[in-house]
Structure 1
Amino acid sequence: MNPILAMLKENNISNEQVSELFQALTQNPLAAMATISQLGLPQESLQALMGQVMQNPALIEDAVKELGLDFSKVEEAKEKLQK
């Protein structure tokens, strides 16, 4: 299992909340940051997760694919943010 998804499950984040988070990520990465802050994750878990993502951004793509979402939407959102 993807380490991002595993950490969310370890912190009792429901499948529905995980799907909502990644759906937000594929539509608007900034909104996803607000969504993740509302999950009530312990600060140390959130910092560890961010560290993993910073070191290996492909983890996001893997998690999106594992959830059956369209990763091209993440790329589109990222391009919009860069403009």
Structure 2
Amino acid sequence: MNPIIAMLKENNISDAQINELFVALTSNPLAAMATISQLGLPQEQLQQLMGQVMQNPTLIKEAVTELGLDFSKVVEAQAKMQK
């Protein structure tokens, strides 16, 4: 299981919230950061999760694939962030 998804599940984040988070990550990464901060994760895990999301796009791709979402939107979002 993807480590981001695993961490979220360990903190009793529902599947619906996880899907919502990754949809946000693929469509608007900056807004997704606000969504992540509202999940109620302990501060240490929140920082770790934010670091993984920002520094390792491969994990996002794996999670998106695992959840059955559209990865092409991730690529579009990354292009928007680099502008």
Structure 2 CA distance, aligned partners of 1:57 and 1:81? 12
Q: Does 1:70 align with 2:70?
A: yes
Q: Cα RMSD over matched residues?
A: 1.3
Cα shift at 1:51: 4.0
Structure 1 CA distance, aligned partners of 2:43 and 2:36? 11
Report the counterpart of residue 14 of structure 1 in structure 2: 14
How high is the TM-score relative to the length of structure 1? 0.89
Structure 2 CA distance, aligned partners of 1:7 and 1:42? 11
Query: Which runs of 5 or more residues in structure 2 are unaligned?
Result: none
Cα shift at 1:67: 0.4
Aligned ranges for residues 1-80 of structure 1 at < 5 Å? 1-53=1-53, 54=55, 56-80=56-80
Residues 1:5 and 1:76: Cα distance change in structure 2 (over 3 Å): same
Amino acid at match of 1:75: V
**Percent identity at matched positions?**
78
Query: Which runs of 5 or more residues in structure 1 are unaligned?
Result: none
Q: Does the 8 Å CA contact 2:26/2:73 hold for their aligned counterparts?
A: yes
**Runs in 1 of length 4+ with deviation above 6 angstroms?**
none
Per-residue CA deviations over 1:13-66 (Å, capped at 9, x if unaligned) read 000100100011111000100110110111111222234443x43111100100
Structure 1 CA distance, aligned partners of 2:57 and 2:80? 18
